[in-house]
Structure 1
Amino acid sequence: MDGTQQFIGEIEAFCARQGMAESTFGFRAANDGKFVSRLRNGRRVTTATVDKVRAFIAAHGQSGGDALPGTPGNGAPEGVADVPMKAPTTTRGPSPLSALEKQRAFRFYDNRQKYLLFVHTCGEKWVVADRVGMELAHLQVTPPALRVFDAGMGDGTVLIRALRQMHRRFPTVPFYVVAKEISLEDVRLSLEKMPDRFFEHPAMVFVVTNLYYSEAPSLMPRNVSAAASLNWREVALSGNTAHEFERQITELQHELAEGWKVHASGKTGNPLYDRPSVLILYREDHKVLLDQVIPRPGQARGQYDLIIASQPFRARMPLAFKVDKVLKPLAEALAPGGRMLTVYSHGRDPGLRIIQRIWPNENPFLHDRHQLLHHMKEKLGRQHRDLTFKAYADKRAIFRYQMHTLPTEIGDNIGTSTLLAAWNAAIYVAQIEDERLQDVMGDLRYLQATRDVLQEFGGLWFLDESFVVTRRRH
């Protein structure tokens, strides 16, 4: 039995003794309800996580000890064999993570459970999409299409809502939409939403790519060898119904899985593409109309009328990284008259209050819009004198979004599910890594802190900050 199977066996034995569901175990031991299933599927975890889980088992799994809250007792439930469990020791055989010790952990945003729970319990995507809509009023279309670049598509919620607003304002204008996304799961979630867009707005070319920020606007890798291996896929969707488009997009799942393989960066732990990929979708019955819009390898015009940069970087990253690696190449991709909207977490809200009750000195929100724009001006000002950097007043630049709760949910007795959703949102926005969470998940102090803040403010809300960069028309 290898280290991974031995570790899984210890967990299974513990769950059998406690009469506990594996999902419950995963959440209590590792703050991840799918921890065990992910482990079986070869999930990357750290040695610190293994140690934390084994410590949890040791603390709660001794025969005759106190039962965990919500479990029937320490013995196995009736009808389930009492499986012997290997007690954890400080000296043991190879860890299931021994092969990964030399690798950096995946970045925070790769935790799908936290991300999806946040997206579905908070209204940030809705509010950001409304902010994008504010920029549409300032756009002037230059033939042959309105060109949009999404610098981090995510699950597609912001982009899809923006496309609906674009259709309302420009119902007959061809759209050229390029979306950057490294996550295969996010690409799938976004493509699931596209059939209705192709039905309502047939004159649209939609492109999704896993290229870096400096490469994605032009759809071409900078590295010669990477460019030679570019996976360029063009799909003309036949039919004229959303159902037909959905069926054809679904058939691309295997190709997507091959094209969106990633590996972890040895320096940052962030995912990097194994092979650069570009997927182009458009309606076959509009191919002639879109001939001047459909990109060709090496000939894509990397200039855009609207660039959406929603949460494009981690708050804790250095200022130089945020500007040099992300914001600068995006601003350079603006077409004359183009506008780039950048949105990121601001802090100074009840969400951060929850975090600071657990980690008093925690404040990951290091740079405001004035610092970012000042550094951008230094990097871009001389070469791009036609760029204008708009910080705006706080009333416009800083906006708020809330966690969805019923009016009756916030009171003297707040349900556990609401508390867990609020805690998840707070740690997601503050970008607290799993390794740090392990130290505070052993007791219920984090839930009490969450409850206190929700009762103090009558709910949970967060602040985002934004700014706009524009390029003058010639």
Structure 2
Amino acid sequence: MDKDIAALVEEVRGFCDRHGIAESTFGRHAVNDGKLVSRMANGSWIEEETSRRMHDFMARVDRGEVVLRGRPRRKKSDSSTEKMAELISRESSVRTPGSFAFHEQRQRFHIFANTTNESWVVADRVSAELADISPGRDGFRLLYAPMDNGIILTRTLRALHALHPDVPVLVAMKGRGLEDLRNTMGRLVDRLAEHPLSAFVMTNMYLREAVDLTKRSEDSPEDVVWRDVALNGNRTYDFQGQVADLYGELSREWLIHQGANSQPVYAVPSVVTVYRADRAKALRRILPKPGDAALRYNYALLNHPYLHSHTMTFRLDHVLRPVFDRLADGGRMTVIQGLGQDPAHEIISCLWPDQAPVISRYDVIREFRRALAGEEFSISGLTDTHALFRFDMHTLPVIEGQNLGTQSLSAAFNNAVYFAQVREELAQEVIHEGRQYLQVTEDVLRKHGGLWFVNEAFSVTRKAA
């Protein structure tokens, strides 16, 4: 047996002993071959790529990215009567580390998203806009940022696919962590069954990079990892399993680190393109390629794309201008942000009177006009009648004459904190001080008969040349 192969077999056996798993279990999860180690022990030769994948799997386990549960190795006579190990690498259990504040904010988002109807209201507004926008020569290109749980995008694509059932559709999404990608793709695979001429591009890069899938930041020394995933089959169930297999590989790339001002920073810049293999030829003109400077969007939805604390310079240079520059002729970008005048913000102002006011869309539009000097464009959303829209926390009980339990009050407080973008350390302080925050929340809910929120939106359209 080759010395290198023999050394690798011994390394694998030592790894299996440490983690209490069978060699066949290692082979299945490292390279999808349960007999790999035994064949190597009998002198079989392996490709360099196979060796790399084996070492990569062991390294991921040692870093804690994949969790193994096992028992000390037993004699062969005992092993058949008791399962020796369980490898947790399923779609639902791959996790990535990150800062405390980042994960707390994501937990708040999930409560907010599941107890309010913002996603439905936003999707309905966007769906109405799409009826006025024509596809390009090669298809319809849509940019969505930031990626969330996929509800808005799924409902929007149902409308777009109904409008253009035979037109290729490319959806580019800017996400942050693996959780965004997992939740979104878990819903979007249905779209591939109903509208086969769909392609999805997901990236964790910053928005100014995501618009053309080109890395510019020096925050990560890594080069962009580009994955082209052609899914086999024609059923949602077929696609679901193949997409789930990606999460283990992507968990390393979609790690989140805490950067300056507690802002999330990607570990490895990643681009993942997903489409149906049986439609690859029909989609070839719309699928992006590395350094694809021809990427132009017919529509872009920026749903709360910046924080209240972000400067106007950041909003213009890192968010709005990069997206406008990538609009096709006649393309439109819609920006949604909180208004700052609703019961949710009233709760926040009672607890933190010094909370900075929200920068209105009028201020953003004024500065954006200046930044676009010399460009041909039009702006809508200047009047409140068309710009403002309300949504509600629909899981609250009818408040009049009813007792409000701690869970309902906690969820309402959570939603106010999330929507008003209160810093996590401030939220934690007031929670630990006692029940005052719950009393303030209850007082506001009773005053208004519930909890509702107000967003404002404006759109910018690039005029056709």
User: Is the TM-score greater than 0.5?
Assistant: yes
Q: Which runs of no fewer than 5 residues in structure 1 stay unpaired?
A: 1-40, 43-103
Give 1:277 deviation, angstroms: 0.7
- The whole-number CA distance in structure 2 between the counterparts of 1:420 and 1:305 is 41
2:158 aligned with 1:164: yes
Letter in 2 for 1:380: L
Q: Is the 8 A contact 1:410 1:459 kept in 2?
A: no
Q: Could you say which residue in structure 2 is the equivalent of 1:49?
A: none
The partner residue of 1:214 within 200, 205, 208 is 208
The partner residue of 1:287 within 272, 280, 285 is 280
Structure 1 residues 421 and 223, CA gap change in structure 2 (3 angstroms): closer
Give 1:183 deviation, angstroms: 1.7
- The whole-number CA distance in structure 2 between the counterparts of 1:216 and 1:134 is 26
Give 1:381 deviation, angstroms: 1.6
Letter in 1 for 2:326: A
Pick which of 404-413 and 297-306 moved more: 404-413
Structure 1 residues 453 and 224, CA gap change in structure 2 (3 angstroms): closer
Q: Is the 8 A contact 2:258 2:265 kept in 1?
A: yes
- The whole-number CA distance in structure 2 between the counterparts of 1:145 and 1:228 is 32
- The whole-number CA distance in structure 2 between the counterparts of 1:408 and 1:224 is 51
Letter in 1 for 2:121: V
1:424-451, Cα deviation, whole Å (9 max, x unpaired): 1011111122321233222111111111
Structure 1 residues 376 and 434, CA gap change in structure 2 (3 angstroms): same
- The whole-number CA distance in structure 1 between the counterparts of 2:413 and 2:397 is 18
Letter in 2 for 1:314: L
Q: Could you say which residue in structure 2 is the equivalent of 1:198?
A: 192
Give 1:204 deviation, angstroms: 0.8
Q: Could you say which residue in structure 2 is the equivalent of 1:352?
A: 345
Query: Matched residue of 2:344: which SS?
Result: helix
Q: Is the 8 A contact 1:331 1:340 kept in 2?
A: yes
Give 1:227 deviation, angstroms: 9.6
Structure 1 residues 351 and 283, CA gap change in structure 2 (3 angstroms): same
Matches within 5 A, 1:411-430: 411-430=401-420
Structure 1 residues 184 and 170, CA gap change in structure 2 (3 angstroms): same
2:448 aligned with 1:457: yes
Give 1:110 deviation, angstroms: 5.7
Letter in 1 for 2:422: I
- The whole-number CA distance in structure 2 between the counterparts of 1:181 and 1:434 is 21
Q: Is the 8 A contact 1:109 1:115 kept in 2?
A: no
Pick which of 330-339 and 386-395 moved more: 386-395
Q: Could you say which residue in structure 2 is the equivalent of 1:332?
A: 325
Pick which of 113-122 and 220-229 moved more: 220-229
2:398 aligned with 1:408: yes
Q: Could you say which residue in structure 1 is the equivalent of 2:292?
A: 299
Q: Is the 8 A contact 1:145 1:174 kept in 2?
A: yes
Q: Greater helix share, 1 or 2?
A: 2
Matches within 5 A, 1:71-470: 111-222=105-216, 229-265=223-259, 267-299=260-292, 301-365=294-358, 367-382=359-374, 385-405=375-395, 407-441=397-431, 442-470=433-461
Letter in 2 for 1:256: L
Q: Is the 8 A contact 2:391 2:452 kept in 1?
A: yes
Query: Matched residue of 2:208: which SS?
Result: coil
Identity %: 38
Q: Is the 8 A contact 1:106 1:264 kept in 2?
A: no
Q: Is the 8 A contact 1:106 1:269 kept in 2?
A: no
Structure 1 runs of 4+ aligned residues shifted over 6 Å read 224-228
Give 1:410 deviation, angstroms: 4.9
- The whole-number CA distance in structure 2 between the counterparts of 1:413 and 1:249 is 45
TM-score of the aligned structures, taking structure 2 as reference length: 0.75
Q: Is the 8 A contact 2:389 2:456 kept in 1?
A: yes
Letter in 1 for 2:368: M
Letter in 1 for 2:145: A
Q: Which runs of no fewer than 5 residues in structure 2 stay unpaired?
A: 1-62, 65-97
1:210-230, Cα deviation, whole Å (9 max, x unpaired): 111211111111369979821
- The whole-number CA distance in structure 2 between the counterparts of 1:182 and 1:224 is 17
Residues matched between the structures, number: 369
- The whole-number CA distance in structure 2 between the counterparts of 1:110 and 1:150 is 23
Give 1:289 deviation, angstroms: 0.8
Q: Is the 8 A contact 2:116 2:395 kept in 1?
A: no
- The whole-number CA distance in structure 2 between the counterparts of 1:224 and 1:445 is 44
Give 1:453 deviation, angstroms: 0.9
1:238-291, Cα deviation, whole Å (9 max, x unpaired): 0010000001000111122022123222x3221112221100000011111111
Superposed CA RMSD in Å reads: 2.2
- The whole-number CA distance in structure 2 between the counterparts of 1:141 and 1:168 is 13
Pick which of 320-329 and 418-427 moved more: 320-329
Give 1:106 deviation, angstroms: 6.2
- The whole-number CA distance in structure 2 between the counterparts of 1:174 and 1:410 is 50
Q: Is the 8 A contact 2:143 2:297 kept in 1?
A: yes
Query: Matched residue of 1:278: which SS?
Result: strand
TM-score of the aligned structures, taking structure 1 as reference length: 0.74
Query: Matched residue of 1:344: which SS?
Result: strand
- The whole-number CA distance in structure 2 between the counterparts of 1:320 and 1:413 is 46
- The whole-number CA distance in structure 2 between the counterparts of 1:343 and 1:221 is 26
Structure 1 residues 158 and 176, CA gap change in structure 2 (3 angstroms): same
